[in-house]
Amino acid sequence: MLTGVGAEALITLAGTPPMVGASDTVLIGHRTEGLDAASAAELVRLPSDLRRIDAPAVVRDAVAAGRQAAAWLAGRGTGVWLHLDLDVLDPESLNAVTYPQPGGLDWDQLADVVAPLARSPRLVGVSVADFRPDPDPTGDQATRVLDLLGRTLP
* pLDDT tens-digit map of 122-134: 889 999 999 999 9
Stretches where the chain sits below pLDDT 70 are none
> 18 preceded by cis ω (within 30°)?
yes
The answer to whether 117 touches 68, Cβ cutoff 8 Å, is: no
* pLDDT tens-digit map of 46-72: 889 999 999 999 999 999 999 999 998
Mean pLDDT of the chain: 91
In this prediction, residue 113 carries a pLDDT of 96
In this prediction, residue 117 carries a pLDDT of 93
Q: How many residues does the chain have?
A: 154
